[in-house]
Amino acid sequence: MNDIKKVKKLIIDKPLKLDCGQTISNFPLAYETYGKLNDKKDNAILAFHALTGDQFASGVNPITNKEGWWNYLIGPGKAIDTQKYFVICANVIGGCMGSYGPSNINPKTNKNFGTEFPVITINDMVNAQYHLLEFFKIKKLFSVLGGSMGGMQVLQFVSNFPNKSETAIPIACTHSHSAQNIALNELGRQSIMADHNWANGFYEENSKSPDKGLAVARMAAHITYLSKKGLQEKFGRKLQERDDLKFGFDADFQIESYLRHQGSVFVDRFDANSYLYITRAMDYFDLSKQFDGNLSKAFEKTNTKFFIISFTSDWLYPTSENREIVIALNSIGKDVGFAEITSDKGHDSFLLNVPDFLNTIKNFLNTSYNKLNEKRI
């Protein structure tokens, strides 16, 4: 692994009051940018990452040497063309790619924070990232977008800063984490905590990390990102490098081998405590509750133009939950578009090469950008 200390960081010196009551200050926010901010500073897009993402949305991630997680969408000549737009992406606080998180050193103990790190929320993540606008001297972003937990951040961002983005694209997300979402996250957390190496979150001092637990958490979560049809078509009952069943508990089936692989590569790039903290932030997300159960109130003050996208085979954040956001916006006469994209690839569709999805974003952004410039002329 390359040195994580070398990633770009903004040190936020202003105190940030967290939802849990604690205040943090002088903390790092790791970020990356793609493209160039123009002279008018009107071409900036803030992309929010999902649970296990990071700031390396495009190009090659220098830490993992793998492609950025949104490489299909963002890059030169792509749907979000970085020859035209300036894309900023930050690692959320609580994360493990250079931003302030549980693997940072606690100045009080000189050891890793572990589970002494404060519980953070989607609201806290967004408030921390808002400092990037000041840092780049951007008065108003052209767009904020993100899928899954990234979409939740989009909703929270527009609610907190109603006049700070011209457009917003929440993708495959929800305004309120459902019981099923919480249950699946709890499964992952319990798997990590059941690993003896977890040691109540202070595993770094023992130099043994709860890899088994984290891998199982990832395996379980990975299933929820795919659709039944997608799994069946890709794997079916195909056997893994063998002609017949072995009557044992090795990975007989390709799907087993695939999941084990997903689990084992994940532990090399992700911190178990960050997994606990970030899933907790998702579970606590309930934007309508912040507005007395009336989601429309969250958007009353905004003139941001929305486009909401869901996927037919996404059962984790289904169309019905995305549509609730559309309804809340329509019911107060806000400018909102909505499309449900046909895809067999499940929740993961937003990360994959799904042409209708990529075109929808491209067309929405480009026509919105042109309209803004027409207005100015």
Partner 1 sequence: MKKEFNTIASLVEKKSKVLDVGCGDGELMKYINENITNDIRGLEISKSNVQKCVAKGLTVIEGDAEKDLKQFPNSSFDYVILSQTLQAFLDPENVISELLRVGKKAIVTIPNFGYWKVRIHLLLRGTMPITKDLPNEWYNTPNLHMCTIKDFVNYCNKKNIKINSKNLSYKNLFSQLGIFVIEK
Which residues, other chains included, contact 301 with Cβ-Cβ below 8 Å and sequence gap of 6+? 162, 163
We find the least distance from the C-beta atom of residue 166 to partner 1, in angstroms, to be 14
**Residue 83 vs 359, nearer CB to partner 1:** 359
Listed ranges 194-202, 245-253, 285-293, 364-372: which one lies at the site for partner 1 (CB under 8 A) = 364-372
**Residue 24 vs 332, nearer CB to partner 1:** 332
Is residue 22 within the footprint of partner 1 (CB under 8 A)? no
We find the least distance from the C-beta atom of residue 45 to partner 1, in angstroms, to be 18
Residue 200 Rama label (left phi>0; alpha psi -120 to 50; beta): left
- The CA-CA-CA angle for residues 136, 146, 34, to 5°, reads 40
27-34 and 86-90: which strand pairing?
Answer: antiparallel
Is residue 331 within the footprint of partner 1 (CB under 8 A)? yes
Residue 17, beta-bridge partner list: 23
Answer positive or negative: Cα dihedral of 244, 249, 251, 256: positive
Listed ranges 18-26, 151-159, 272-280, 320-328: which one lies at the site for partner 1 (CB under 8 A) = 320-328
Which of 231, 265, 335, 372 binds partner 1 (CB under 8 A)? It is 335
Is residue 109 within the footprint of partner 1 (CB under 8 A)? no
We find the least distance from the C-beta atom of residue 337 to partner 1, in angstroms, to be 5
Which of 11, 20, 194, 327 binds partner 1 (CB under 8 A)? It is 327
3-state SS of 136-171 is: CCCCCEEEEEEECHHHHHHHHHHHHCCCCEEEEEEE
Is residue 336 within the footprint of partner 1 (CB under 8 A)? yes
We find the least distance from the C-beta atom of residue 53 to partner 1, in angstroms, to be 25
DSSP string, 123-137: HHHHHHHTHHHHHTT
Is residue 338 within the footprint of partner 1 (CB under 8 A)? yes
Q: Which of 155, 190, 126, 179 is nearest to 316 (CA)?
A: 179
Active site residues: 148, 314, 347
Give, for 186, the enclosing helix (H) or strand (E). Answer: helix 179-193
Is residue 190 within the footprint of partner 1 (CB under 8 A)? no
Which of 119, 332, 352, 372 binds partner 1 (CB under 8 A)? It is 332
Residue 215 CB neighbours (<10 A): 23
Which of 37, 41, 340, 352 binds partner 1 (CB under 8 A)? It is 340
Write the binding mask 278 to 317 for partner 1: x where contact by CB under 8 A, - elsewhere: ---------------------------x------------
Which of 19, 330, 352, 372 binds partner 1 (CB under 8 A)? It is 330
**Residue 288 vs 330, nearer CB to partner 1:** 330
Are 272 and 135 in contact by the 8 Å Cβ rule? The answer is no
Is residue 67 within the footprint of partner 1 (CB under 8 A)? no
305-311 and 336-341: which strand pairing?
Answer: parallel
Is residue 25 within the footprint of partner 1 (CB under 8 A)? no
Q: Structure tokens of 132?
A: 């990037």
Is residue 368 within the footprint of partner 1 (CB under 8 A)? yes
Token match 């960081």: residue? 9
**Residue 117 vs 357, nearer CB to partner 1:** 357
Measured distance CA(12)–CA(19) in Å, rounded? 17
Contact set with partner 1 (CB under 8 A) = 305, 323, 326-327, 330-333, 335-342, 356, 359-360, 363-364, 366-368, 370-371
